Amino acid sequence: MSRFTRRTFMATSAAALMALALPLPAFALNDAEARGLVDNLVSEINDVIASGKSETAMYGDFERIFRKYADLPYIAAYAMGVDARRASDSQKKAFTNAFTGYISRKYGKRFREFIGGRLEVQGVKQVKSFYQVTTTAFLRGEAPFEVDFHVSDRSGKNLFFNMYIEGINMLLTEREEVGSMLDRRKGDIDAMIADLAKAG
Amino acid sequence: MALAAVTVLGVAGCTRPAQYEGRDGIFDPYESGNRKTHEFNRDVDRALLRPLAKGYVAVVPDGIVISVGKFAENLGEPSNAVNHLLQGNVRGVGRNVTRFLINSTLGFAGLFDPASDFGLYPDKTDFGETLHVWGASEGAYVELPVFGPSTERDAAGRVVDMFTNPLSYVLPTQEAAAANSAKVAAKLGDRGRYSDLVDSVLYESADSYAQGRILYLQNRRHDLGMDTEDTYIAPEDVNTQGF
């Protein structure tokens, strides 16, 4: 048992699969795919930043990018936290929708500050069941800083489910904010969703 | 200095949770007092800092605002070097000293940062990090008047850092005053240049105190290398049914 670790088990199974020349399952996310996803994501973000469009037009673009690359149901579910247990399915759907617009505006604003700068993909590594793609933001007059994307195929598609900017992660930060919004409305989920649609 | 450090270690260790307590790794036993300080800080920002900072970056060209920031940053390099030395981080000391020498000369007394062009990017540290390296625990979250979010450990570090910069012992009074003015101007420049970001936290979030707290703790723990892979959120952590 001591020598037959999870790692050796995985390695052995992988070797067995190779020996049988079985096609690799389509959902097996790998380094190259995780990196490719973030390469495309970063290039689309850079295009929007460089487009010189109006602020509102940019938010529309960022929302489209979020819907294409982000695991929105996961991010929304995490942000709602334990309060999701008492939410109805229609409330959950409405929340995911309002939340998507909210993070597109909020994070779109931050990306807009990258005007004149750029994001560069540095590397990728597997962490537990997902991939961490590290990028560096180069901004004028600033020491370069890390922006990481955590990518998973949990949903059946390769999508990012969390983002770290200098250690600050979107999931934890937004769960705190949604919690505060609920507190402000004394726990009224519908009122919180209405606030969210206007926030960011 | 050594005596101060020992005293500070004792202070930093005074509120010591066995583990991070409360939601999301937040230990905030002084929350009600902290919230009062937060309201004060917000008032100061609204009435004084924000308008001054906005005026400063509106009137002064961006290049000069950046240069003033760089100038203040360069004056902090000796303090970084001392703290890296106390942490036993020889590479850090080397980087701070080299940056200080290059930027003080080629960079016109630190107004420019040619060291970064050579790939020698800033590597800041402080006595709060030194305390962390020495094994002091983070302690409780505190919001300090004017300085804002901190922890007991970092607040103690701030006090000691008033004495860790060798320059403050060698600069003549007039130059020392100029250095302090540059530091204040650099803070204003940061507040002005990141106005939208700071505004979004202070004035647009549902609970600016809670947002400031979680942003500070995450960023600080990242800087100190406390956010290991174990702390990452996994894609299996929540049930997405219905979302």
Q: Is the pLDDT of residue B28 over 60?
A: yes
Cα(A189)–Cα(A193) distance, rounded to whole angstroms? 6
Question: In the predicted model, is pLDDT for residue B117 greater than 60?
Answer: yes
Residue A26 has a pLDDT of: 45
Report the gap between the CA of B113 and the closest CA in chain A (Å): 9
> In this predicted structure, what is the pLDDT of residue B214?
96
Per the structure block, which two tokens stand in for B171?
Answer: 């600069």
The single residue listed with the structure tokens 């938010």 is: A59
**Is ipTM beyond 0.90?**
no
Cβ–Cβ gap B235/A154 under 8 Å = yes
Q: Nearest 5°: phi and psi at B234?
A: -90, 155
What single-letter DSSP state applies at residue B236? T
- pLDDT at A20 exceeding the cut of 70: no
Residue B144 phi/psi, 5-degree rounding, is: -90, 145
Element (H, E) at A13: helix A6-19
Contacts of A27 in chain B (CB under 8 A): none
Are residues A135 and A119 in contact, defined by beta-carbon separation less than 8 angstroms? Answer: yes
Residue B30: band (very low, low, confident or very high) from pLDDT cuts 50, 70, 90:
very high
Tell me the H-state helices in A20-161.
31-51, 55-69, 72-80, 89-112
User: Residue ranges of the domains in chain A?
Assistant: 3-19+31-198
CB B114 within 8 A of CB B103: yes
Q: Which CATH class is domain A3-19+31-198?
A: alpha beta
Concatenated DSSP letters for B164-178? Answer: --THHHHS-HHHHHH
Can you give the pLDDT at residue A25?
A: 43
Q: What's the pLDDT at A108?
A: 87
Hey, how many other C-beta atoms are within 10 angstroms of the C-beta on B221? 20
Which pLDDT score is estimated for A1?
41
Of A128, A141, A167, the CB nearest to B66: A141
Contact A169 B242 (CB under 8 A): no
Tokens of A69: 């690359």
DSSP labels for B46-71? Answer: IIIIHHHHHHHHHHS-HHHHHHHHHH
Comparing A9-23, A30-44, A157-171, B176-190, the range with the smallest average pLDDT is A9-23
Q: Does B237 touch chain A (CB under 8 A)?
A: yes
Are A56 and B206 contacting, i.e. CB atoms less than 8 angstroms apart? no
CA distance B234 to B215: 20
Contact check, Cβ <8 Å, A74/B210: no
Interface contact B108, partner A, CB < 8 A: no
pLDDT above 70: percentage of residues in chain A: 86
Task: For residue B7, give how far its alpha carbon lies from the nearest alpha carbon of chain A (Å).
Answer: 31
Tens of pLDDT, residues B205-216:
999 999 999 999
Residue type, A110: R
Q: Tokens 């004149």 belong to which residue?
A: A116
Cα separation, B201 vs A109, whole angstroms:
12
- For residues B43 and B35, is the Cβ–Cβ distance under 8 A? no
Q: What is the mean pLDDT of residues A82-97?
A: 96
- Asked if residues A177 and A191 have their Cβ atoms less than 8 Å apart, the reply is no
What is Dmax (Cα atoms) for chain B? 67
CA within 13 Å, CB half, A145: 16
Q: Say what the pTM is.
A: 0.86
C-alpha to C-alpha distance for A11 and A56, rounded to whole angstroms: 50
> For residue range A91-150, what is the model confidence (pLDDT) as tens digits?
999 999 999 999 999 988 888 777 778 888 999 999 989 999 999 998 876 788 899 999
Amino acid making up residue A184: R
Q: Where are the alpha helices (DSSP H) in A116-186?
A: 170-184
Q: Lay out the sheet containing A159-165: strands in order across.
A: A118-127, A130-138, A145-152, A159-165, A168-169
pLDDT digits (tens, 9 = 90+) for B170-220: 999 999 999 999 999 999 999 998 898 899 999 999 999 999 999 999 999
pLDDT score of A19: 46
**b/e string for B1-14 if b means 16 or more Cβ within 10 A?**
eeeebeebbebbbe
pLDDT, position A125: 92
